[in-house]
Amino acid sequence: MKAGMSNAKTVSRSISPPRYFSFPAIAGQNPWLDFLRAIAVLFVLLRHGERALMQSSSDALNALTTSPLHNFFINGWVGVDLFLVLSGYLIGKSLIKMFSKDNQINIKTYFWHRSLRIIPAYFAVLFITALGVFPLYAVSPEHLGLRVFYHMLFLQDYLPSNINVVFWSLGVEEKFYILAPLIAVILVKFKQTRSAFALMALLFLCSPLAKTFQLWSAHAEINYQTFFQDYRSPFHLSTEPLIVGFAISYFEIKKKINLTPSQAKWIFAMAAVLTGSLLFSHDFLSSFGFWDMMGQPISLALLFGTMVVCATQLSGLPVIGEPVWRLVSRLSYALYLIHFPLIPLALALTLPNAPLSFWGIYMIFAFAGALVLHFLVEKPFLKIKNRRSSKLISAR
């Protein structure tokens, strides 16, 4: 009997999926931040899927374009703003802790780790997209070599992001990664948090002030295309959420954020309800007035910043559906990179007059592609990064 049980255990172990292909919980990782990261990427997927349906020729597929649900989906671009708040927070926390502990930032290690995290998966999708691997996704051959080159330099926030439109935000993030160590050093040097707050407030206002000047000096009528290229995409006009996230990391480390779990949950819920109500209310990009250009980015950065603040105070407390959010969060970068070129094929396979079939096919393709990208490209380099981090910690 014991031998039978032993054999059963052996068989069970042999057929269980290898640890490499799993998404285990990591000690010390905040599940609430995983939840927010998962929501952010799902927002982006909803946005691009809804726009694809809007641009399709079927009246049935366009039937919901005046509904609150359509507004919620089409406003999914705000997921990028949530991503940027999270990115600013995580980078700020890492750098400020590093400098506070060692009184210096190892720039070589910092950029090496950032490169291992960002570049492999990004370059993989960039090259296979440019090579036309994705069925039905057309990339213009005009000046393609030049376009790939400036994408490799992360200049697609200023130059057209016309290989895979989602790449624009990587250009924004990479430039922030370059400035982040300097900001961290200056913040840590301040002896009073009031001085740090003044600096962060000044940095936060840089983007709105630059947009105001550009808006007042503009002569051409602003449409979606000009808005995206001239006001949304450039790094210096998109920094509000990054600065908010960075500021949160500083004040958390300085123990200036003190909420009870109950307070954090209530504030988080109120910020989420307010954000959701706004997303359902109207298409944020249906007009391009002063509020749309200035008020919306500031409001979104502060709302998402509020959620991140609350999430930092809820670390260690479980989130409903935590395994699902953890999986989506771990795949979020791969999902973000690969989903857009898969949309034309999903549309082509959509059943006539059945938009729900599109969403099913689209999500299956997006998650399948993300799993392949994550395990074949992203995760091997993350393991190298983590091994190097472990060696550095052991050497101290």
Could you tell me if residue 318 is inside a domain?
A: yes
Could you tell me if residue 169 is inside a domain?
A: yes
Full DSSP string of 248-286? HHHHHHTT-----HHHHHHHHHHHHHHHHHHHHHS-TTS
Could you tell me if residue 3 is inside a domain?
A: no
Cα–Cα–Cα angle for 250, 86, 390, nearest 5°?
Answer: 75
**Distance between CA atoms of residues 175 and 236, nearest Å:** 9
Task: Using a cut of 0.85, tell me whether the model's pTM lies above it.
Answer: yes
Instruction: Report the domain count for the chain.
Output: 1
Could you tell me if residue 16 is inside a domain?
A: no
* pLDDT over 80 (residue 186): yes
Give 21-66 pLDDT, tens digit per residue.
Answer: 889 888 889 999 999 999 999 999 999 999 998 888 665 555 456 6
- pLDDT-derived band at 104 (thresholds 50, 70, 90) equals confident
Region for 52 from its dihedrals, namely left if φ exceeds 0, alpha if ψ lies in -120 to 50, beta otherwise: alpha
Could you tell me if residue 225 is inside a domain?
A: yes
State the pLDDT at residue 6: 46
Could you tell me if residue 346 is inside a domain?
A: yes
Could you tell me if residue 11 is inside a domain?
A: no
Could you tell me if residue 10 is inside a domain?
A: no
Give 199-220 pLDDT, tens digit per residue.
Answer: 999 999 999 999 999 888 877 7
Whether the Cβ atoms of residue 267 and residue 306 lie closer than 8 Å to each other: yes
Give 353-384 pLDDT, tens digit per residue.
Answer: 888 999 999 999 999 999 999 999 999 999 99
Q: Which of 191, 302, 325, 319 is nearest to 248 (CA)?
A: 302
Range of the domain at 329: 28-395
